[in-house]
A = this chain, B = another copy of it.
Amino acid sequence: MTQFLRTRSKVVVLTHAKPDGDAVGSSTAVVRALNLAAGREVATAWHAGPMPPWYGPMMGDTPGLVLPREGPPADAEADAIVVVDTGSWPQLEHVRSWLSWQREQTLVLDHHVHGDADVGDQRIIDTSAASAAQVVAPLCVSLLGVKDVASLPQPIADALYLGVASDTGWFRHSNVSPAVFDFAAALLRAGARHVPLHQLTEQQEGESRLRLMARALESLRLLEGGTLAVMSLTLEDFAQTNAQPGESGGFVDLAMQIAKVRVSAVLTEVESREGGRLTKISLRSKEGDNAVDVNRLTRALGGGGHVRAAGARVAMTLAQTRDEIARLVREQEPK
């Protein structure tokens, strides 16, 4: 893989749409490593938005392109393509037509269980890795011919640190392992600037987010004997606090602080394409005896996700959705 990439002069690095810290971090690391190794600009990252607020400062002068809605330019060419942090077509819709006929020169580096074998001929999939950053790091080491991760240049270490920190909930989630800490230690030794990275990505909000958070907390209802927490946000809540749709991200974790809560839900009103109102559901559940499987719960509503984190979008009012979730939680109670 390294040898193949070393001989290329026009590499495009791709990742899933709406990229998170790991997608931006691991794609940026690969672009930086390729360009440093070549001593000139051979690689560019293509991203598809909406982009996180810290995207610009994180990228700095790393060659990157935020694709327009219609996808890549028809005449865009590449002699190698690297896809990171995804390997499945539904997450690559924005480049599918451009990418689908180039599988022979496409490499996939991912850590997700689900993927499509025909995205690229060469695939490195490590499902034991907590982040794509851990999967692309050996490639960066090899491209630059350095000894190990701790010897990587700081700009690459920064990008990889962003990846592993954000995909592990800044080292709090259940995917944290000895390998994650070994990796993070090596990145700090390489000079990764973790405090500015935390500031950059976790402290980039506007006043509107806190105004919206106040509304969400005011709406908190504790149901099912206090084990189900539901917060609800109307379109008016967003309008009156000047908040954008994405700004309620993470609110679902707030109620997880409450000891008795086993399932936390945030319901937000969104406009449908036809102008009506839908309800977007974000759900989390805690580990433990008789833990609620929110993937199963949201599948009953046409959504899905993971066992502990899932979502859906339903044609119901906020109140109807709240009742329906309570019913589905009850359904999972042991008989």
Does A174 sit within 8 A of B, measured CB to CB? yes
Asked if B188 and A181 make an inter-chain contact with CB atoms under 8 angstroms apart, the answer reads yes
Asked if A258 and B210 make an inter-chain contact with CB atoms under 8 angstroms apart, the answer reads yes
Asked if A217 and B220 make an inter-chain contact with CB atoms under 8 angstroms apart, the answer reads no
Of A171, A198, A287, most buried by chain B (CB within 10 Å of CB) is: A171
Given contacts A203-B256, A210-B217, A259-B206, contact A185 B188 (CB under 8 A): no
Q: Contact flags (1/0) for A161-186 with B, using CB distance below 8 Å?
A: 00000000011111011111110111
- Chain B proximity of A54: nearest CB distance (Å): 9
Asked if B205 and A259 make an inter-chain contact with CB atoms under 8 angstroms apart, the answer reads yes
| Chain A contact residue count (CB 8 A cutoff) | 50
In the complex, the chain B residue whose C-beta lies closest to that of A254 is: B210
Does A207 sit within 8 A of B, measured CB to CB? yes
Does A67 sit within 8 A of B, measured CB to CB? no
Say whether chain A's binding surface is mostly helix, strand, loop, or mixed.
Answer: helix
Asked if A204 and B259 make an inter-chain contact with CB atoms under 8 angstroms apart, the answer reads yes
Which residues 214-239 of A sit at the B interface, judged by CB distance below 8 A?
Answer: 214, 217-218, 220, 222, 226
- Chain B proximity of A305: nearest CB distance (Å): 18
- Chain B proximity of A208: nearest CB distance (Å): 9
Q: How far is the CA of A180 from the CA of B176 in the complex (A)?
A: 14
Asked if A172 and B184 make an inter-chain contact with CB atoms under 8 angstroms apart, the answer reads no
Residues on B with C-beta less than 8 A from A199 are 286-288
Given contacts A181-B185, A185-B182, A259-B203, contact A213 B217 (CB under 8 A): yes
Residues on B with C-beta less than 8 A from A123 are none
Residues on B with C-beta less than 8 A from A178 are 185-186, 188-189
Asked if B188 and A207 make an inter-chain contact with CB atoms under 8 angstroms apart, the answer reads no
Does A194 sit within 8 A of B, measured CB to CB? yes
Asked if A177 and B188 make an inter-chain contact with CB atoms under 8 angstroms apart, the answer reads yes
Residues on B with C-beta less than 8 A from A186 are 178
In the complex, the chain B residue whose C-beta lies closest to that of A231 is: B210
Q: How far is the CA of A133 from the CA of B185 in the complex (A)?
A: 18
Asked if A172 and B174 make an inter-chain contact with CB atoms under 8 angstroms apart, the answer reads no
Asked if A203 and B170 make an inter-chain contact with CB atoms under 8 angstroms apart, the answer reads no
Q: How far is the CA of A196 from the CA of B174 in the complex (A)?
A: 9
- Chain B proximity of A17: nearest CB distance (Å): 24
- Chain B proximity of A252: nearest CB distance (Å): 13
- Chain B proximity of A168: nearest CB distance (Å): 9
Asked if B176 and A257 make an inter-chain contact with CB atoms under 8 angstroms apart, the answer reads no
Residues on B with C-beta less than 8 A from A195 are 173-174, 287
Q: How far is the CA of A151 from the CA of B286 in the complex (A)?
A: 29
Given A207-B258, A210-B255, A213-B254, 10 further pairs, Cβ under 8 A: A170-B170, A171-B184, A178-B188, A181-B182, A204-B259, A205-B257, A207-B226, A209-B258, A210-B258, A213-B217
Q: Which A residues form the contact surface with B (CB < 8 A)?
A: 53, 170-174, 176-182, 184-186, 188-189, 194-196, 198-199, 202-207, 209-211, 213-214, 217-218, 220, 222, 226, 254-261, 286-288
- 12 A–B contacts, CB within 8 A, in A order: A170-B171, A171-B172, A173-B195, A174-B195, A179-B185, A181-B184, A199-B288, A203-B261, A206-B259, A207-B222, A211-B220, A218-B218
